[in-house]
Structure 1
Amino acid sequence: MTTVEPDVLRRVCGHWATGVAVVTGRAADGAPLGMAVNSFTSLSLDPPLVLFCPALASSTWPGIRAAGRFAVDVLATRHAALAGVFARSGGDKFAGVPLRETADGLPAIEGAVARLVCSVDAVHPGGDHEIVVGRVQHAEHEDDLDPLLFHRGRTPDYHFV
């Protein structure tokens, strides 16, 4: 059996364009937590379930997991620079980011295309990642915004006429 090298798999899978979302939560001390994900998708309509896949090496995911709930903000094209901030490890990712709180106190990025508030329903092993299933408690969206895309390792330059 032939094994595909990780860098080859990353390049090949990078040809699949994905949306970019930020998963947010609160640490035990109340500090906001956030991380960019492109491994986000709907899973089930009944019951309402979504999933995302954080890396085992993530320093953010353990705090969100411990809290047991999270929000998913689907980023708009105007959030391209913000995606890079939340993709990095460490530092104050929320500095200068326009926020509001969800009804239950989770940090929410202003101007998101869509937002889901979820509770952690299940966590499954997935190689060097975990597969997180979230039960959707609340959902909202904006119809007049375009989503940010990630393709071939970057967000494209957006030039709208």
Structure 2
Amino acid sequence: MSNKHQTNFTEKDFRQALGRFATGVAIVTATDLTTGKPVGLTVSSFNSVSLDPPLVLWCLRLASQNLDLFKNTSHYNIHILANDQIDLAMQFSTAKVPDRFEGIDWELNKAGTPLLSTKYCSAIFECANEQQHPAGDHLIMVGYVENCQHTNKLPLVFHAGTFDLTPTSRFAK
């Protein structure tokens, strides 16, 4: 991708520098409007945007096979994974798994989108697909939070290219 700005580092250097910022790990789910089947993927690009109105964002690669689906869906759910859910994060991050929802507890919410059980999550955000902004090789997805819930479970953290199991919290009991 061409850019009018100059950089003095390699893509590898940039990736390693970004990896020094710890992020949470989330699974974003929606319903495929053509098949009616649930879809989901693992992301680490989640962030809050606004309290009023309640907005959050996540980013999706433009090369994602699910790009059109998430661009065109009216609703999606963002599940912030609990720190014991590395296997679930991996299950939703690989194309090698034919049915990412197999063997897990989930249901459809009022908007008709897949909602994972809270036993996997430290928080869940049920969102309307509010805005989209192309940026580089990603699409920034802004969701209007219609409902949210949280547990006392510690979140799963991604840091320096791997899952990090070291976070502690005064809230975990």
Give me the TM-score of the superposition, normalised by structure 2.
0.85
How many residue pairs get matched?
159
Offset at residue 159 of structure 1 (A)? 10
| Cα distance in 1, alignment partners of residues 85 and 140 from structure 2 | 25
The amino acid across from 2:99 in the alignment is D
Contact 1:123 1:132 in 2 (8 A): yes
- The correspondence for 2:109, drawn from 91, 102, 118, is 102
Structure 1 alignment gaps of length 5 or more = none
Contact 2:156 2:165 in 1 (8 A): no
Q: Which moved more, 1:92-101 or 1:122-131?
A: 92-101
Largest Rg, 1 or 2 = 2
State the 1:51 CA deviation: 0.4
CA deviation profile, 1:31-64 (whole Å, cap 9, x unmatched) = 0010111100010011111000100111123212
Match of 2:159 in 1: 151
1:104–1:68 CA distance, 2 compared to 1 (3 A): closer
The corresponding residue for 2:22 is 17
* Partner residue, 1:6: 11
Tell me, in whole angstroms, the C-alpha distance in 1 between the residues paired with 2:50 and 2:11.
Answer: 30
2:83–2:165 Cα contact (<8 Å) kept:
no
Q: 2:135 aligned to 109, 126, 129, which one?
A: 126
- Tell me how far apart the structure 1 counterparts of residues 112 and 11 of structure 2 sit (CA, whole Å): 38
- The 5 Å alignment of 1:1-161 reads 1-28=6-33, 29-89=35-95, 91-110=98-117, 111=119, 112-142=121-151, 144-157=152-165
Query: Structure 2: which 5+ runs fail to align?
Result: 1-5, 169-173
User: Is the CA contact 1:120–1:133 (under 8 Å) kept in the aligned structure 2?
Assistant: yes
| Per-residue deviation, 1:93 | 1.1
Q: Which amino acid aligns with 2:24?
A: G
CA apart distance, 1:155: 0.7
**What CA deviation, in whole Å up to 9, does each residue of 1:55-90 have, x standing for no partner?**
011112321222221000000012111111211235
Give the 3-state SS of the residue equivalent to 2:61 in structure 1: coil
Partner SS, residue 11 of structure 1: helix
Ranges of 4+ aligned residues in structure 1 off by more than 6 Å:
none
